[in-house]
Every structure is written in C-alpha cells, then in structure tokens.
Amino acid sequence: MANGYSGGRVILEVRDVIKQFKQYDSVVTAVNRANFEVCDGEFVAIMGASGSGKSTLLHVLAGLDRPNSGRITLRGNEITAMNADDLAVFRGNYIGVIFQSHNLIPQFTALENILVPTLMCNKPDFSYEEHLKKLVSTLRIADRLHHLPSELSGGQQQRVAIARALINRPQIVFADEPTGNLDRDNADEVLSLLLRTKEVMNQTLIMVTHDRSIAEKADRIFEMENGDLRPLRQ
Amino acid sequence: MAYRKPYYDENHRLVRYGPVSFLRDAWNFSRNFFAFRNVKLAFRGVTTGFREYFVFFVSIFLLQTLFFTVWLRFDTASAVAREEAYSGDGYNLTVEKISQEAYTELFNSYLSFAGENTPADRGYEVLDTEGYYDGYGDRYYRLNFILTDDSIEFCDAIVSRYGLDREEFTVSYGERSNYLNRISEMKRKSVVNTVLVGVLAAAALTLLFYIRINQNKFLYGIYIAFGAGFEKLLETAWWELLAVALMTYLPAAGASAGIYSAVAAAGGAKPVFVWGRLGWGLLWTTAVVALSVVPGVRIISKKMPVSLITAADNSNYVSSPRVSFRIFGKRFPFHYELFGFVRFRSYYIMLVSAAVAFTVVFSTGLFLADLKKTEAEDNRPYFTLSAGSGELDSYDIAGIDDIEGVDYTVWSKSADATSLRSFVLLTKEQSSGITSMTVKDPATGLYADNNVRYSRLSELLAEEVTSHGVWKVDGDLAAVAAGGDTVAVTRSINNRDVLGFKVGDRITVATFREQGRPLVFDRIDRKYVLSVLLNDAYFNYTEVTVGAVVDDGDTSDEYTVYMPDALYAKITGDSSGYTDASVYLERGIANSETGRIRNAIVKIMSVHRGYTVTPTGEGYRRALAQKAGARLPLITGSAAVLLISPLVWLYAQSAFCRKRYGEIFLLSACGSKDSDIRKLFLFSGAVLTVLAAAATAGIGSLLNYIIYYLVNVYFPSMGFGEQIRYDYTFSPLGLAVCVLLSAVAAMLSTYLPFLAFVRDRDRIARVESGE
Ligand SMILES: Nc1ncnc2c1ncn2[C@@H]1O[C@H](COP(=O)(O)OP(=O)(O)OP(=O)(O)O)[C@@H](O)[C@H]1O
Ligand SMILES: [Mg+2]
C-alpha cells in the first residue's frame, strides 16, 4: 500500500481535494490539494495548529460540505459526484460524525438528540436499544438523558454528541476533537470506548485531535499546516 | 417505466434502477411513512412546541373552516333548490307544437327510450296537455312531462327525436331540469372554489413553512447531516403539519357548522349537513398540507449540512454587525438599523410582499362578494322571446305585460355597424378612451369607429324602460324616441365607460353609398374593415345630436346608438318591426308561478311561426341568494385571510428577533444602552410600517384594479364568466382598513418580540452562555 498500511482494502480515497472560502475579497485555502487513502479498519489521526483546516477537511471527507475540486471515494462510492439527497442517505447509512462544537439540537433532550440518526435513516431490521444502553453507560450520561443540552456541562454535551455519532453503528466515524472538552480520565475513557466500538464493529476512525498522547494510539498520523496535509508517522 | 429508488447492494455500492419491484418500494415507503413513531413524534412536537406552531394552527383552522363553509353552503343551497324544483306543479319538460302523430306516440307511451318499453318504467309521465290550432288551422299539442328520476337524458332524447325540424317543434326545458342543471353548475362552482381555496391555502402555508425552515436551518442541517434525504425531511415536515391539521379538523368543522347554522337561520333556511364532507375535508387537508411542504423541503434538501449548521450564526439574515459599523461609523442606532434593512433585504421584501398578497386576497374577496350581491340584485329577464319569422306588435307586448307576475318587457331590434359597412365619426374627446380602435378620417379630421350597434328605440320602449327604471338615463329619452335627428348612446365597451359622450354632443353616422374600388377584406377584424372602407368607399353622412346618455346594462364589446324608428330605418335600411324581447318578472315571484306565466306567454307567441320562449331561469338565483347567503363564505374567507396576515408578521418577526439575540447581546456588550436598543427596534418598526403601508396602498390598489379588469373586462370579453354590468369602484375605506392593518401588524410585530425579549433576557442569557 502506498501509505505503508496493509490491513485491508481501501475504504476512503482522497484525490486532489481543494476547499477554499471566499470572504469579501480574500480567499482562504483551508484544504490545499489533499491526497491520501485510508484502509478499512484503520485509525487515522489528524493534528495541526488552530485554523490549519482540520475541521474543514473532515467536513469535506464526511460529505457534509463540497470541495471546490477533487474527488473523494468512500466505500467505492464517489461522494463528490452524488447529489445532495443521495449523499444524505449515504451518510445516514455509513457515516457517523462528531462535531467540534457539539451541535446538539437545543430544543431536544439528550436522549432525543442521540436518537436523531435512528429516526432520520430507515435502516432495515435495526434495533438500537441494547446498543443505546451500552453507549450511555460507558459514556456515563445515563442519568442525564432527559435533560436539555443547555442543562448539561460542556463535557456531557460532548459525550451526548459521541453517542449520537455511534448510535447507528456507522462503518466510518469522523471525529473532530471528541475529547477536547474532557479531563484526562474522561478523555481516556471516551477514547477507549471509541477504540472498542471500532474493534467490535470493524469501524474506520478518522479523528482530529490536539492531544499527542491520543494521536500516538493511531495507526497513522497526518499533520495539517495552512491547508497542506502531510503524513507525520506511517 | 416506474421510478425506482436507488439502493445499496451488499458491496455497499449505490445501485440505481435495480431489479427492485415497484410494489416493494411502495410497501417499504408506506411502512416507514405511517410508522407509529412518526405519528407520535409529530404530535408531540407540535404540542410541546405549540407557540412555534401557533400560526399554523390558526391558519389551518381558518382554511378548514372555509372549506366546510363552502360545502355547507352548497349542500344547503342545493337542498333549497331541489325543494323549490319539486314543490308545486313543477315539471321537467315542456314540448311545444307536437303533431297529432307524435302526440299519440308520446301520450300512449309507445315511445321507448334506452330500453324502457313498458309504460311503468318508461321514465316519464305526461302531466298535462293542451291542444290548439296555429295560424294555419293545423292542430298541435303542448305536453308537460314530469320525469320519474332526475335524469335529463330524457330531455335530450326528446330533443333529438322531435327537435330535428325546428319549424314544427319548440322544445324548452321546464323548471325542474333547469334546477337540476343549476345544481350541477353550483357543484362545479363549489369544486372550483375548493380548488381555489386549496391553492391559496397551499400558498399561504408554503410561505409560513418556508419561513419556519429558514428560521430553523440549524435543526434541518443536523437532520441532513445524520442521514435525512428529501423523502425523510418531507415525511417529517408533512407529519408535523398533518398533526396540526388533524387537531384543528373537528373544531373547524364544528365552527363552520355553528357559524353557518346561525347565518342560515337568520336567512330562514335550514342548514343541511352531509357527513361525507368530513371525509373530503380530510383528503383536501392532507393534499393541501402535502403541497405546501414540498417547496421548502425541496430547497433545504439540496443544501449541504455545514452551510446550514453554520448559517445559524452567519446567515444572510443576521450578518456581521461589523459591516454596519464600518459603513456608518458611530451613528447608532438609526443608521445602523437603516443599513439593517439593506442587510436583511430579502427577508423584508418577503415580509412586505406577504402583507400585500394577503391584503389583495382580502380586498378581492370583498370585491367578489360585492359582485355577487350585484349579480343577485341584477334584474335579469326570466324569459327571452323570439317571434321567429313574425314581428312583435304592440298587442303582443301589451298582452305579455298584462300577464299577472310580469313586471315589464324590453324588446329590441338592432344591427351591427360593421356588418352594415357603416361607422360613426367621433371627436377626439369622445373617442379618447378608444384611440386604439379608431381610424382617423383624413377628410374630416374626426375619428371613425365601428365598434357600435344601432338599435331601435320606439316611444313605447322608451316609456317602458323609463317608467320601470331599467336604464340609467341622463337626458330626455322620450324626446329622443319622439323622432328627429337625436339619438341616445351608451358609453361602455367591455364593461368600462370609455366613450366620452355628453348630452348635447354631436356625432356623425356614416352609411355606405358605393364603393370606389373593389373592396378586399382579407381579415375580419373591425378596425381593418374600417380602414378598407375609409380608403375605398363613399358614404352618406347623417349628423345627429346626443339627446340622452344611457346605461342599459350591456357589457358587450360594442356600445349602442339608440335611434328613433324613422332614423333607424334610414340608417339601417330595415323598417321591419321588433322580433326579440326579454320578459322581466316581478321580484320575489314564487317559482311555482313561472309555469303559468310561461303558458300564458306561449299562448300569445304561438301566432308567430317559428317562435321561441326560453326561460333563462334567473329567478332561481335570486331565491338562492336570499336564502343561502352566497356572500358569506367570500366575506368570511377574505376576513380569515386578512387575519392570517398579522400572524405571519408576528411569527416571522418573533423568529427574526430571536435570531438577533446574539447581535443584541453583542451590542449591549459593546456599550449601547437599553434605551438605544429600544429606539433601534422602534425605528425598525417605523420604517417597516411605512414600507408596508406604502406597498399595500400602491401595489395593493394596482393589483385590485388588475383583478377587476380580469374578472369584469377581460374574461367576459373572452367569453368566460358572468357578463354583468359592474363599474370599477375604488373603496377608500377598504384600502384604509388594509393599510392600517399592515401598518399595525408591522409595528406590533417588530416591537412585541423585543418586549418579550427584554422580559426573558435573564433566561436567555443563561441559555446562551450554557452553550
Ligand atoms: N465558513 C467559513 N467561511 C470562511 N472561512 C472559513 C469558514 N470555515 C472555516 N474557515 C477558515 O478556514 C480555515 C480553516 O478552518 P478550520 O475550522 O478548518 O480550522 P481548524 O484546523 O479546524 O482549527 P481549530 O483547531 O481551531 O478547530 C480558517 O482560516 C477559517 O477561518
Ligand atoms: Mg476545528
């Protein structure tokens, strides 16, 4: 394999992806010609300074935003060529996202927030109750399920967002600083949960993090600098 | 080929048009769609978020009330009409001039229609017969039939069997089939109304739902991020509104039943409830709601989630205050907010257009209600008569006038100027309203026009129309009819007073003398014919004086010049008598009387070979208008629409204000005083008030005129709709109400949310900082 990893077949292929933002008369190139592949079951960490384009890259990879140019292929489907509608359904079936700013729906309780993905995609013969129980107990939010986001601490909101990303058992998880608001112990706990579910469900995990000790656990580390992506450790 | 949903195969590849049966798709779709969790979620969502959905509750309630009122009115009115039709000695069909053989055939029921061959099931009964001799000594019969069912096929069968020779048979439909036709017409109108109300309702709800979606971009962004495609969003949205509609459904049915019963009772009619309408109402509601969520959902589902999620803080509605500061420096708050109108222009344009649209619908409703009233009060002829090859003389007219129940008779004899190769010459002032139709006559410098009819005005007719107030007359009609070179003129073409005639004016009537060159008319429009004539023919000119200007109720595409008998004969070359007449009955005459009146008229008319007596049956309409209150649904409907307008404002502005909380916090954090922020909102409200009032007054009255033009001028000239004389009247009061309402809605909807915000500030501050 080009990037040295030989675990399985390629699940994510990124070719010449460019994402720019135009504001007034200046242009920010948040992602500058990214090229890489990720294999099935891999754990990839992306590091980099603030404003270097990590979140933007993640959004584009997860099909939440369109790149200006380039091609992204997920599970053999070229998501850059899909229309918005098919893309949404595809996301619902295969992708889990943890946003950097948790993006919980303020008028829904924690439980309702967690269940949003199950309502939004009709996975056939899918029952989530067992899974939900395990998730909330590991994430230690079982007693906060009926509270609104505004009544939760930042760390608790973070964990609700993680549960929401995992409830549908996605095959690829994109996580944007999932441990950013957590203390050391909690961060380790959440990371081990993510890694455990990754193992059990044979997920692929792509995670943005500032935490070098977390990144060390990844199969590979990329670093972003002013929109340029380069491998840090193979 | 049926559409097949794309799906993922076992290798997780997207497959389009795969071998998935359409039925299975449909089954999966409906299983998901009607899943209990959807229903539960929708009901819970709209009940817990009641404030957010309030405007939907109110508007859907109003629309459903309107729907039920339309059909209650129809059911009641048609029951009244049916009762009228079957009361007294009503009969379905009268056949005149039945020969001896046909009489025997019909009376002895040897005739069979569509397999009915025994007297018992032949489908008709002969109610009464009358034998008479015509002017040539031949024996004829008049038969009145009563049909054993509502079918008018029998009438058609009679018409086709005996109506072939019009000289021998005069067939006319009697009251009952007339009523049955009217009922089906009423039904058609009610269906059209329902569709119209449905389209309006869908438009209003689409607007509201679009506002809702725009104010909740974040929510929909998250939905889409976690897998909701168009179908799913549609499902969610549809269930939300359907839940609202189901909750308002029975209350709306109850409300319209209550209101209508009260109104019907006041008009002396008994409301008729048809339970099946409840089912139709449900279908209608479902369809309207489904239609109104589609556009909003379609638009949102094409967006990328990130843009929706971040739109929550930098949407085009609330963009960075930095820009405002940069442009207007420290001149806060007025310039700041004024620039806000530029920043949020698309929002304000939408808001103001909504206000205009609602007021236009409101005033159109009032206009149509008034039109209905005019229509109902309009005295139309009940019978129109033609003497066939004979002439109506003063004995005929006097005889008909003397029949008990006949109010008066208006007879007419007229000719179209164009077909006589004639025209009139008008001055610039007289013709300034029709310049596009006239051709300038080089010889005289006057304006030639042939959009005119010449009509004969005998002294008797002048007296009849004057004494009964049938025409509105300015001048001395009797003097015109007495003879000489004076005429009476009308001023209207296609229901608009476009001719500038005044009493004392002089006009010239040109009549064809001979042609100078071969006349080639390769087109038939009047103006073309006129210009050919002016170029290639010679004319005799008769100068006449306008002795009276009249409004005879005509709405056609020609105005009329009424001439005394001698002048008419001279201009048209036709000195024969009157052939056509219209018979007007006394107001409030019972429908059971009309049969007797008809028979009396027929007796008088039957001396003329080929005569016809056609009951145009307008009396039914007066009865209905009186009994069932045709205007009520229109007025309630337009009032309902007018009430939705402030709700839309309040809804949109509250949500808008909520989006500005961050901005307001920021402003106070930057040191602006509460009083400044209050001023900011008051100022914003004031600007919006002025904008809304101006738009309502300006665009509103323009659109009203356009609607009047379409309904009363354009459609009738194209042959659609009722032809009724109705002048455009500008109602300052109605406009004032609309403008005031827009203004109040604009001001209150800007200021009230701000007051609510001040009240809730502490709570909001907590929530904002908690995020
Ligand atoms: N919607 C947007 N419009 C304009 N510019 C944007 C937008 N989103 C991001 N940017 C810009 O793109 C660049 C990359 O942003 P991004 O959020 O990807 O950084 P990041 O690496 O995730 O930073 P952090 O570690 O602080 O989260 C930044 O300069 C940012 O200002
Ligand atoms: Mg980031």
**Three-state DSSP string of B306-321:** HHHHHHHHHCCCCCCH
Give residue B484's region: left, alpha or beta (phi > 0; psi -120 to 50): left
* Cβ(B19)–Cβ(B5) below 8 Å: no
* Cβ(B531)–Cβ(B439) below 8 Å: yes
The pLDDT assigned to B455 comes to 93
* Count of CB atoms situated within 10 Å of the CB of B123: 18
Whether residue A67 is predicted with pLDDT greater than 60 in this model: the reply is yes
Task: Give the residue, B607 or A177, on which the prediction is more confident.
Answer: A177
Whether residue B741 is predicted with pLDDT greater than 90 in this model: the reply is no
Instruction: Give B512's strand partners.
Output: B539
Average pLDDT score over residue span B590-618: 75
DSSP string, B227-260: T--HHHHHHHHHHHHHHHHHHHHHHHHHHHHHHH
Whether residue A46 is predicted with pLDDT greater than 90 in this model: the reply is yes
- Residues of chain A in contact with residue B304, where contact means CB-CB under 8 angstroms, are 64-66, 84
* Å between B344 CA and nearest CA of chain A: 17
Place of tokens 């003497």: B387
How far is residue A66's CA from residue A68's CA, in Å, rounded to a whole number? 6
Whether residue B201 is predicted with pLDDT greater than 80 in this model: the reply is yes
Contacts of B624 (CB under 8 A, 6+ apart): B77, B80, B81, B630
Whether residue A92 is predicted with pLDDT greater than 70 in this model: the reply is yes
Whether residue B713 is predicted with pLDDT greater than 90 in this model: the reply is no
The 10s digit of each residue's pLDDT in B533-563 is 888 888 999 999 999 999 887 778 889 999 9
The pLDDT assigned to A163 comes to 92
Q: Does A130 touch chain B (CB under 8 A)?
A: no
Contacts of B157 (CB under 8 A, 6+ apart): B113, B114
- Confidence category of residue B225, pLDDT binned at 50, 70, 90: very high
Token reading at B262:
């009260």
Average pLDDT score over residue span B292-306: 90
Average pLDDT score over residue span A173-189: 86
- Confidence category of residue A115, pLDDT binned at 50, 70, 90: confident
Average pLDDT score over residue span B191-195: 83
Whether residue B622 is predicted with pLDDT greater than 60 in this model: the reply is no
Whether residue B1 is predicted with pLDDT greater than 50 in this model: the reply is no
Whether residue B110 is predicted with pLDDT greater than 60 in this model: the reply is no
Q: Using alpha carbons, select from B168, B173, B142, B140 the residue that is nearest to residue B155.
A: B173
* Cβ(B210)–Cβ(B651) below 8 Å: no
The pLDDT assigned to B164 comes to 42
Average pLDDT score over residue span A161-178: 91
Token reading at B603:
């007796």
Give percent above pLDDT 70 in chain B: 73
Whether residue B367 is predicted with pLDDT greater than 90 in this model: the reply is no
Whether residue B114 is predicted with pLDDT greater than 50 in this model: the reply is no
| pLDDT, averaged across chain A | 86
Average pLDDT score over residue span B122-128: 61
* Å between A206 CA and nearest CA of chain B: 17
Whether residue A14 is predicted with pLDDT greater than 90 in this model: the reply is yes
Q: Specify the pairing of strand A220-225 against strand A228-233.
A: antiparallel
The 10s digit of each residue's pLDDT in B155-175 is 666 666 665 454 445 555 566
What is the three-class DSSP state of B551? strand
Of B37, B305, B770, the CB nearest to A64: B305
Size of interface A-B (CB pairs under 8 A): 96
- Confidence category of residue B320, pLDDT binned at 50, 70, 90: very low
How far is residue B609's CA from residue B134's CA, in Å, rounded to a whole number? 9
Query: A115-129, B16-30, B246-260, B379-393 — which is least confidently predicted?
Result: B16-30
Average pLDDT score over residue span B234-241: 87
Angle at A220 between CA A215 and CA A221, to 5 degrees: 55
- Give me the phi and psi of B302, to 5 degrees please: -90, -5
Of B228, B307, B771, the CB nearest to A88: B228
The pLDDT assigned to B628 comes to 46
The 10s digit of each residue's pLDDT in B441-494 is 888 889 999 999 999 998 888 888 888 888 889 999 999 999 889 999 999 888
ipTM field: 0.92
Q: Which amino acid is it at B539? A: F
Of B28, B222, B307, the CB nearest to A105: B222
Choice from A28, A60, A64 to test ligand 1 binding pocket (greatest atom count within 8 A of CB): A28
| pLDDT, averaged across chain B | 77
Place of tokens 């089939």: B177
The pLDDT assigned to B183 comes to 75
The 10s digit of each residue's pLDDT in B411-431 is 888 888 988 889 999 999 999
- Give me the phi and psi of A62, to 5 degrees please: -80, 0
